Structure 1
Amino acid sequence: MSQPGTVALTVEHNGSVQAIAFSPDSTRFASGGGDSLVRVRSVGTGAPLDAPSEGSVTGIDFSPDGAAFAVADFEQVFLRSGSTGKVIWQGPLDPGNSVNTVRFGPNGTLVAATDTSVAVLDGSTGAVTRRIPVDTPLIAGLDLSRDGTRIALAIDERHGGNHRQAGSARVLALATGAEIGRLTPENAVFAVAFSPDASLVLCCAADDTVRMFEAEGGTQLWPAEDQDEDQDEGEDEGEDEGGGRRVTAVHCLAFDPKGRWTVVGGADGFARVLEAESGTERGRAPTLDPGLPDPQFGAVTHVAFAPNGKAAASASIDNVVRVFNVDGRERYTVSTDEVLAMKFSPDGRWLGVGCFDRALVIDNGEPGHG
């Protein structure tokens, strides 16, 4: 076994790589982006597989059994065989609008989204079983609950004729399309993440806040309303009494798969691990050396939690990927090109990143120790 932090696989591309995925058994890695091929590679030994794409690939996901993979390819969704790459079915989701996301639910149902709508598709046939239009869009991000029954949407309302500074985080029941919860910060919402049981949602917004709320009903749990008011009056960003829940221009976040921790990345270059129950900061990476001048770090653009919840990863515009414990202590760093996508393998052994002109699979240690 190579040392953690070693690049185990490099997949060359002719353009940006903004979509990556691991198979459920963590043995295959798929990547795609601005060039004309989706590349599937074995992490170890195995024949490579290339599948043509018609436009810019923005999303890839393997089916729960690993036998197929879905691709968001410009205006269409493709389902391809995992062994041959041949098309099983294909079709436009919403003609004239690009597909931005594809995600499989645990029962094989496929969820796909454009800027303005969400669709639920039959995974075996591609038939659209439900369309959910989004009023006052743009959909900036989404998360599908672990059980596949709910979807959380990050909505940016700064687009359109009125150009207002507004947004919301919304929770929908996929079976009906009905909205069951909504939180409305002071500005656009960039990202959302469900807790493992889908009872809570974490969101970050353009008003420099990170908030936790109840999925059903939308009640904000933290920060408390009086802490929101204190922040509006100009308290020190990132160090408020509520435990560091105000993070400068946060754009990315993730929930620990076990439900205890969250991680958020800010423009100040720090990834902060917050306790999910209270929002109290547990640690941050990178750590600073006491007595030395504070260095300048690039803004954090991506964060992810390892499957065992003991470590998290961040990528920043200073072209460094960091993997660290929940207390912020770094396990290893890897120098990369600018990261456009990042994801741990299901078993935690690998960390995949998409960059300009290549995708990388980084060795994260023995399976289950991620």
Structure 2
Amino acid sequence: MPTTAELHPIAGCVPSRQADVIFIHGLDGDPFGTWKHDALFWPEALGLDHAQAGVWSLGYPAAKTEWNGSAMPLADRATNVLALLDAHGIGERPLVFVVHSMGGLLVKQMLRHALQYGDPAWQRISRATAGIVFLATPNSGSRIANWMTFFSLARASAAVKDLEHNDAGLRDLNLWFRNNVHQLGCRVLVFYEKLPMGQVVVVDEASSDPGIPNVVPIPLDENHATICKPASARALQYLKVKRFLEDLLPAPGAAAGTGALAPPPVAPTATYLCNVGGWKRNEINAVAWSPCSRYLAAASDDGTIRVWLPACKDLILTIHAHRGSVKSVCWSPGADALASCSTDGSAATWHFPDGRQIDRWEGADDWARSVAWAREGGFLACGYANGVVRVFYIADRRERWRLALHQGRVRSVAISPSGRMLASGATDATVKIVEPSTGTLIADIAVGALFAAGATDGAQVLCVAWAPSGAQLAVGTVSGHVSIIDTLTWRIVRSRKLCRDSILSIAWSPDSRSIACGSADRSVLQADVGRIDVCGTRGMLFGLLGTDSAGTRVAAHLGSVRSVDWSADGYAIASGSTDEVIRISTKTVLDNAELHAHQLQLRCAALSPDGRDLATGSIGRQVMLFRMHPPMHRWSLEGSSDVMESVSMGKGERVVEKRRQGLDEYIRCLAWSPDGKWLVVGGDDRTLRVLEADSGRVSHYALTDCHERSIHCVAWSPAGDRIASCSGSELVVWEVFNGVRQRRRAAGGDILAAAWAPAGDRIATVAEDGQLVLWTRLEPTTLGHCPDEVAVLSWSPDGKFVVGAGPGAHARVWDTAFGRMVAEIPVPGGVRTIAWDRAGARLALASDSGAVHIVATGTWRQAGEVASLPWTHRSLSLAFSSAPLTGADAVCAELAFSSVALA
């Protein structure tokens, strides 16, 4: 057993090596015996298979005595090993770790230190890490009890108790890794054992699963000790790791050093259309607890259904369910299936937990807004925006009936606990009760009768919900009022204004005594039904209601709360909002949680001029830079702080100044300098920052509070000496390295897009009124008018034409010399990004559907269409390139990449 940490060279550890592979053992392991089978020492064999890489094995004190005491040595050991790796020059080349057992925890702690403590050498190691192979590592931290049993067979009781004491620390480390692996930019390969060690399988499938999308643990017929000792080069773990290294490491003969590796050679005449996409906005439309209260399903605007395990904040299933926004989701009574409906007019059912489709019903003429599953499981009900309600029987998979029940849009349907009645609420201010098997109308309840004449618009019904007892029905309206209907008499017996804005969703507590309301006023309110005002026999005008509060706020969001649901065990209320966040509010408050489908929430991205790097900005106050090949995370800038720095003023004078380092608010836009050395970033904090591309450091040229409002557009001049930024109706041009600025204001309202001419002598802008303006020496000249909203502008390479496009159905082309529109190009789904080829002969328009339309600029007619991104993603950066984005899928889990070879 080693007495100090030491890095042992195994094979190819020479200065000319092009990459590094480091094996790290776990507790009671050593740098050689852990990996050695009688017939094979596989670190050495892998070194022979990958001659361009240096293979090392780390040894460190890992005996049981190292784990005695009141604190784990893991954090200190991580610091020690990082310093050791830096001393050996690790981090200057692409790096892959192969780790066994708790050696994987050591690597996670090292990467965590590197990101959190900011040491440049440590960050270099983090950026260089291209992949990690986990062999029998407890990634989920959910099977610590198995570890206890295993160690109790081989260790003194003091060591066992110490590991039990640090159980929470291990879980926290594993959760950090799961939430930050996208930022690390490394790929992951996971193996777990199937055979017991003594009487226990130490790391089973559940414990090995890191919870990372598209990472599936691989089972091996080994135990905890033999899993890291393949018997031959034909063993599964050897072959998979060998292939893993082939995908990540540079080919023999490629340029050495991180950041210096060129993409694979391509034919000089090849042209690729490269598209980088981020998830579409993930506004939450519906949340639904499973009947067992263990799982939570969420329906989103990006067309997906996601299923969470809220207890440990794990996203366990993502279903790409519909082409349109998913408006509603619900569970089957047995929690073995989900139902959903969408703005594409379809309703569907999905098997849980594998997510495969069971059935789909089309044939609607309008949006599907709400779906409900009968408690006995026999049928589904679905409401549509054209006033129609449909019922589908599960057994024969057919539509039972459809009826136009409402004059307005159906916003909500609900089935009674007995399954004998179906309620629908609509914008015509009525609630209809029908018999599900026949569609026979039982009751027609006019909610508008409670409102004063002239205020009936506030009676539009947005949500209905049956009490679990079946005795009452709750109704929420546009005006923020809630009404309670008695299901024996079908009279409104209680009414009250609970929210300042529309009530978008209602859920009952399991005991039928309370309701939870989600509102457009961004709050979740819990109210005791007994405190809601009683209506008289003639009804009650809402204007006469009392003003004292009848409820308690249990959660607050940054956007409208579109959905709430109360767990069947009564312990938690889930709420989903347009702020893309799901909040779990519990009785004890201690277990309150937030769930984010996309941790980064990317809003903008840009490929560097040479295509080697990708910069991204998010509403999470973060800018990140990724190397495209080999795929790796280079740096991140997030948060903010004040720093003191000495600045040269010329003539030998220096002044100490205070400036802001980091980001204060959402990032809305970013752009590369033409030489690829700088990035300019703008956002909601009204500050323009210039970042060094190599390090992410904020330069002296940060312009604080340079605009009155959020900065939503930036563009770098072709010469690299000026930056144009837009905020509201204001256009500002900055001389980058001295801060001199010139301001102008557009006459047509807020500026929506701006672009420099290739010669740098003009700037094109378009404002809210649709006026396209050319600014020559910052003097405006109107070029034309666009009838649709324009979100992106682009000049042709020769500067003769400007193309403007946006969410409308056309892209429009203007001739800048003659001041007239020369073409309207139809683009279904609208345009997100625009790119020109170098010669200006082809124009690419990336649509919201994921397709890219190729236009021949000689005729301005479509010459082809390329299937590019999945429809769940929107284009953030589009470019013609001589090389594909090889291996880009490993850059970041929240981005999608496409490289299509063009003729």
TM-score bucket of the superposed structures, by smaller chain: 0.5 to 0.7
C-alpha separation in 2, matches of 1:123 and 1:84? 16
2:518 and 2:564 in contact (8 A); partners too: no
Among 6, 10, 20, which residue is 2:319 paired with? 10
- Label 1:168 to 1:333 Cα distance change in 2 as closer, same or farther (>3 A): closer
Report 1 or 2 for greater relative contact order, CA contacts < 8 Å, sequence distance ≥ 6: 1
CA deviations 1:223-275 (Å, max 9, x no partner) are xxxxx77x9xxxxxxxxxx9x94x5xxxxxxxxxxxxxxxx4324x4xxxxxx
Amino acid at match of 1:266: A
Amino acid at match of 1:34: T
Hey, what does 2:184 align to over in structure 1?
Answer: none
- Label 1:336 to 1:71 Cα distance change in 2 as closer, same or farther (>3 A): farther
What's the RMSD between the two structures over aligned residues?
3.6
Corresponding residue SS for 2:568: coil
Corresponding residue SS for 2:325: strand
- Label 1:63 to 1:216 Cα distance change in 2 as closer, same or farther (>3 A): same
C-alpha separation in 1, matches of 2:594 and 2:499? 37
Among 361, 365, 372, which residue is 1:51 paired with? 361
Write out aligned runs for 1:68-107 (5 A): 68-74=379-385, 75-94=387-406, 96-107=407-418
Write out aligned runs for 1:240-259 (5 A): 245=552
Hey, what does 1:279 align to over in structure 2?
Answer: none
**Post-superposition offset of 1:77:** 1.0
**Post-superposition offset of 1:90:** 1.4
Hey, what does 1:156 align to over in structure 2?
Answer: 478
C-alpha separation in 2, matches of 1:130 and 1:52? 28
C-alpha separation in 2, matches of 1:103 and 1:21? 11
Unaligned runs of 5+ in 1: 158-166, 220-227, 232-241, 248-263, 270-297, 339-355, 359-370
**Post-superposition offset of 1:357:** 6.7
1:32 and 1:38 in contact (8 A); partners too: yes
1:17 and 1:31 in contact (8 A); partners too: yes
C-alpha separation in 2, matches of 1:7 and 1:59? 24
Amino acid at match of 1:335: A
1:111 aligns with 2:423: yes
Among 124, 130, 145, which residue is 2:437 paired with? 124
C-alpha separation in 2, matches of 1:79 and 1:206? 29
C-alpha separation in 1, matches of 2:315 and 2:510? 30
Hey, what does 2:884 align to over in structure 1?
Answer: none
Amino acid at match of 2:408: N
Greater helix share, structure number: 2
C-alpha separation in 1, matches of 2:368 and 2:472? 25
Hey, what does 2:466 align to over in structure 1?
Answer: 144
1:199 and 1:216 in contact (8 A); partners too: no
C-alpha separation in 2, matches of 1:214 and 1:330? 24
Write out aligned runs for 1:55-66 (5 A): 55-66=366-377
**Post-superposition offset of 1:36:** 3.5
1:180 and 1:217 in contact (8 A); partners too: no
**Post-superposition offset of 1:128:** 0.7
1:308 aligns with 2:569: yes
C-alpha separation in 2, matches of 1:77 and 1:15? 19
Higher mean alpha-carbon deviation, 83-92 vs 188-197, is at 188-197
C-alpha separation in 2, matches of 1:204 and 1:47? 30
Write out aligned runs for 1:346-365 (5 A): none
Hey, what does 1:265 align to over in structure 2?
Answer: 555
C-alpha separation in 2, matches of 1:203 and 1:324? 13
C-alpha separation in 1, matches of 2:363 and 2:347? 6
Corresponding residue SS for 1:170: strand
1:335 aligns with 2:597: yes
Corresponding residue SS for 1:48: strand
Hey, what does 2:329 align to over in structure 1?
Answer: 20
Amino acid at match of 1:117: T
Max Rg structure: 2
Corresponding residue SS for 2:344: coil
C-alpha separation in 2, matches of 1:89 and 1:35? 20
TM-score w.r.t. length of structure 2: 0.27
- Label 1:134 to 1:31 Cα distance change in 2 as closer, same or farther (>3 A): same
2:378 and 2:395 in contact (8 A); partners too: yes
Moved over 6 A (4+): 204-209
Write out aligned runs for 1:159-308 (5 A): 167-184=480-497, 187-188=500-501, 190=503, 191-203=505-517, 210=525, 212-215=527-530, 218=533, 245=552, 264-267=554-557, 269=558, 301-308=562-569
Q: Percent identity?
A: 19
Greater strand share, structure number: 1
- Label 1:51 to 1:299 Cα distance change in 2 as closer, same or farther (>3 A): closer
Higher mean alpha-carbon deviation, 116-125 vs 138-147, is at 138-147
C-alpha separation in 1, matches of 2:483 and 2:336? 35
2:519 and 2:561 in contact (8 A); partners too: no
**Post-superposition offset of 1:323:** 4.7
C-alpha separation in 1, matches of 2:591 and 2:361? 40
**Post-superposition offset of 1:328:** 4.1
Hey, what does 1:31 align to over in structure 2?
Answer: 340
**Post-superposition offset of 1:150:** 1.1
CA deviations 1:60-105 (Å, max 9, x no partner) are 11122212111112321111121443111111112x3222111111
C-alpha separation in 1, matches of 2:338 and 2:424? 20
Hey, what does 1:278 align to over in structure 2?
Answer: none
**Post-superposition offset of 1:48:** 2.3
- Label 1:299 to 1:12 Cα distance change in 2 as closer, same or farther (>3 A): same
- Label 1:185 to 1:27 Cα distance change in 2 as closer, same or farther (>3 A): closer
Corresponding residue SS for 1:15: coil
- Label 1:64 to 1:301 Cα distance change in 2 as closer, same or farther (>3 A): closer
C-alpha separation in 2, matches of 1:217 and 1:331? 29
1:156 and 1:189 in contact (8 A); partners too: yes
2:423 and 2:464 in contact (8 A); partners too: no
- Label 1:112 to 1:324 Cα distance change in 2 as closer, same or farther (>3 A): closer
2:518 and 2:561 in contact (8 A); partners too: no
Corresponding residue SS for 1:77: strand
**Post-superposition offset of 1:38:** 1.4
- Label 1:60 to 1:25 Cα distance change in 2 as closer, same or farther (>3 A): same
1:155 and 1:188 in contact (8 A); partners too: no
Corresponding residue SS for 2:390: strand
2:564 and 2:575 in contact (8 A); partners too: yes
Amino acid at match of 2:362: P
Hey, what does 1:347 align to over in structure 2?
Answer: none
1:141 and 1:153 in contact (8 A); partners too: yes
1:63 and 1:69 in contact (8 A); partners too: yes
**Post-superposition offset of 1:170:** 1.7
